[in-house]
């Protein structure tokens, strides 16, 4: 399976080792992974795709699926639910789609090249992938973690012969540095006893009218999941309270036109990277022997506690350009940027400034293409580019004045990372912009500020970095002395330079070529490399693997920072 443009999964996995947030090696925060309780079906389920049984009507549905990478709510509503009995695991999808379309009719055709929904079911050392389109055509693969192939017993079973046709290595899609390494993919695998059905509410492949969408219904025999259960001996069917990991996704080949921001890939619980093959990020599904519908008669479980800040700062607001944008304009790469990793290391929930769940969280106002000054921005397909840092700070001020943002000045950090796009702007004008932005933020109550030192070895930005960095050093000294606030120049650019100059130290093998093109500019977006080993994902823009390194370096710096005595 080659998954370059689309990837999605539903996985039911073993309980995985718990890691401290500071050492969490995956691109989505552990504390933001969805949880769900699957209850027993109260009546027989007829697999016809209609989801009209009383059990489905009573089942608790997932939240609206969100952008697989950034976590924004999907353009079209997509939800899922899980039921079970002693014989089967049942999964239902409700898919809003104005023009239902499907073309592939051959089993195990590349369904991910149609509009589809997807499901992976994972055991401790293996997982199963399932995809289906609106014609009901399915695609299946079983993956075994290569390092566990011998010890988990797969090597002793003839159906897992590694030399058989349609068996080949697989190393993920956009997250190729998985700690467990590569997998063995069995494209010859069919799940015994699987039942599937689709119901279309509209006219398939007819764009002359608008459709409501389609629904998918699956029945998966518990006994067919034995290969996934054999490594840890989990019960089939599960016992009351058992937890599996299931991930639910939807992928569309068409995208809504601007100004909609339609990534084309949505999931119940985001992954922070364009890759669904990360079982550690699948929602936690707990199986309950309570009948469905009973959840409406008892209080909801308590909300999990918020993450605990790991520095003196309990909130962070970020202003900048594509090197910081995590979805306010356009993610110019294959996953989160350094400030997102920094926020997670700091124990802070951090989201784009326009996220619907932004209240009370750290926010990134940064927009790709931004200069330090004014810029109204311009839509490019589903992206927004060039919305200036002055405008970003004004948006922050408007939210504060409207009461939408409240912060504690003593424990809030303002992070400004701009200037890379100021190549044609006079140095004095760049400094004047930063001075005005700091003034606005101080007047709103800000007391702790850090400005990013610019990189000087990234070829596309080296000239502006070498010109502005000395000016920033002097500017920060003078502004800190004049204003009396906590203001310092951080090592953001220095960290990028360190990776560029010492790539082998960080597992980077290429510091010259881009891994993929930008779809918004009609370039080929299919990765032509392993993004985890390339410095650049897009031309001039680092991969999320590099951003992760920089974010962790920034965290160590901020954790050690002590405000100067005033």
| Residue 229 contacts residue 265 (beta carbons within 8 Å) | no
Q: What is the reported pTM?
A: 0.57
pLDDT tens-place string over residues 412-445 = 999 999 999 999 999 999 999 999 999 999 999 9
pLDDT of residue 12: 34
Cα–Cα distances (Å) from 513 to 22, 523, 528, 529, in that order, read 31, 15, 10, 10
Residue entry with tokens 């710096």: 557
pLDDT at 15 over 50: no
| Residue 297 contacts residue 51 (beta carbons within 8 Å) | no
pLDDT of residue 307: 64
What is the spatial distance between Cα 302 and Cα 290, in angstroms, rounded to a whole number?
18
Q: CB 359: neighbour CB atoms within 10 A?
A: 11
pLDDT at 539 over 60: yes
Both tokens of 540, joined, read 């001039």
pLDDT tens-place string over residues 471-507 = 999 999 999 999 999 999 999 999 999 999 999 999 8
pLDDT, mean of residues 128-141: 97
For the ranges 159-173, 251-265, 529-543, which has the lowest average pLDDT?
A: 251-265
Q: Where are the domains of the chain?
A: 21-142+188-297, 315-560
What is the spatial distance between Cα 104 and Cα 131, in angstroms, rounded to a whole number?
12
**What CATH number is given for 21-142+188-297 in this structure?**
2.60.40.1190
What dihedral do alpha carbons 234, 240, 244, 246 form, nearest 10°?
140
Specify the long-range contacts of residues 530-535, CB closer than 8 Å, at least 24 apart.
Answer: 530/171, 530/176, 531/174, 531/176, 531/334, 532/175, 532/176, 532/177, 532/507, 533/176, 533/507, 533/508, 533/509, 534/508, 534/509, 534/510, 535/499, 535/500, 535/503, 535/508, 535/510, 535/511
Element (H, E) at 447: none
pLDDT tens-place string over residues 337-395 = 999 999 989 999 998 998 877 889 999 999 999 999 999 999 998 789 999 999 999 99
pLDDT of residue 356: 76
Residue entry with tokens 């058989």: 164
Superfamily (CATH H level) for 315-560: SGNH hydrolase (3.40.50.1110)
pLDDT of residue 296: 46
pLDDT at 453 over 90: yes
| Residue 48 contacts residue 197 (beta carbons within 8 Å) | yes
pLDDT, mean of residues 302-321: 81
Cα–Cα distances (Å) from 392 to 172, 328, 340, in that order, read 36, 10, 17
Both tokens of 541, joined, read 């823009």
pLDDT of residue 262: 75
What is the spatial distance between Cα 35 and Cα 33, in angstroms, rounded to a whole number?
7
pLDDT of residue 566: 57
Question: pLDDT tier at 327 (50, 70, 90 boundaries)?
Answer: confident
Task: Confirm whether 21-142+188-297 and 315-560 share one CATH topology.
Answer: no
Question: pLDDT tier at 20 (50, 70, 90 boundaries)?
Answer: very low
pLDDT of residue 207: 84
pLDDT tens-place string over residues 379-404 = 998 789 999 999 999 999 999 999 99
């Amino acid at each position: 399976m080659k998954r370059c443009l689309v990837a999605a999964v539903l996985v039911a996995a073993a309980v995985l080792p718990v890691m401290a947030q500071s050492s969490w090696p995956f691109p989505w925060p552990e504390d933001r992974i969805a949880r769900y309780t699957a209850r027993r079906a109260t009546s027989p389920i007829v697999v016809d795709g209609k989801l009209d049984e009383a059990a489905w009507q009573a089942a608790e549905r997932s939240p609206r699926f969100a952008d697989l990478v950034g976590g924004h709510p999907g353009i079209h509503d997509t939800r899922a639910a899980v039921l079970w009995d002693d014989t089967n695991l049942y999964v239902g999808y409700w898919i809003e789609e104005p023009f239902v379309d499907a073309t592939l009719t051959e089993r195990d055709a590349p369904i991910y090249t149609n509009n589809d929904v997807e499901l992976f079911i994972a055991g401790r050392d293996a997982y199963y992938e399932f995809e289906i389109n609106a014609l009901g055509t399915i695609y299946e693969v079983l993956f075994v973690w290569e390092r566990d192939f011998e010890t988990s017993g797969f090597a002793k079973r003839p159906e897992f012969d590694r030399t058989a046709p349609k068996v080949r290595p697989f190393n993920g899609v956009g997250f190729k540095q998985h700690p467990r390494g590569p997998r063995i993919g069995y494209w010859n695998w069919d799940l015994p006893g699987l039942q599937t059905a689709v119901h279309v509410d509209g006219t398939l492949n007819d764009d002359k009218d608008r459709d409501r969408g389609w629904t998918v219904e699956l029945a998966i025999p518990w006994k067919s999941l034995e290969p996934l259960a054999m490594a840890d001996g989990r019960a089939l069917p599960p016992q009351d309270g058992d937890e599996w990991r299931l991930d639910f996704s939807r992928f569309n080949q068409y995208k809504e036109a601007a100004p909609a921001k339609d990534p084309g890939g949505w999931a119940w619980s985001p992954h922070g990277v364009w890759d669904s093959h990360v079982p550690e990020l699948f929602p936690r599904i707990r199986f309950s022997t309570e009948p469905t519908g009973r959840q409406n008669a008892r209080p909801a479980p308590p909300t999990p506690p918020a993450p605990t800040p790991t520095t003196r700062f309990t909130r962070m607001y970020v202003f900048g350009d594509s090197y910081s944008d995590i979805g306010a304009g356009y993610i110019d790469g294959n996953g989160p940027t350094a400030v997102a990793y920094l926020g997670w290391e700091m124990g802070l929930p951090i989201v784009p400034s326009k996220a619907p769940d932004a209240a009370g969280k750290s926010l990134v106002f940064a927009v790709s293409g931004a200069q330090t000054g004014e810029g109204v921005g311009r839509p490019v397909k589903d992206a927004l580019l060039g919305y200036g840092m002055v405008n970003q700070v004004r948006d922050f001020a408007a939210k504060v004045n409207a009461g939408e943002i409240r912060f504690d000045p003593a424990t809030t950090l303002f992070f400004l990372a701009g200037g890379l796009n100021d190549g044609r702007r006079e140095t004095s004008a760049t400094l004047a912009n930063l001075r005005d932005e700091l003034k606005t933020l101080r007047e709103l109550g800000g007391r702790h500020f850090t400005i990013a030192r610019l990189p000087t070895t990234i070829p596309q930005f080296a000239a502006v970095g070498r010109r502005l960095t000395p000016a920033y050093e002097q500017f920060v000294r003078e502004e800190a002395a004049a204003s009396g606030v906590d203001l310092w120049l951080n090592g953001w650019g220095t960290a990028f330079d360190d990776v560029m100059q010492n790539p082998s130290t960080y597992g980077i093998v290429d510091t010259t070529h881009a891994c993929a093109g930008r779809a918004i500019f009609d370039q080929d977006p299919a990765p032509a490399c392993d993004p985890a080993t390339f410095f650049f994902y897009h031309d001039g823009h680092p991969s999320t693997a590099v951003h992760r390194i920089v974010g962790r370096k920034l965290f160590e710096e901020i954790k050690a920072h002590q405000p100067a005595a005033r």
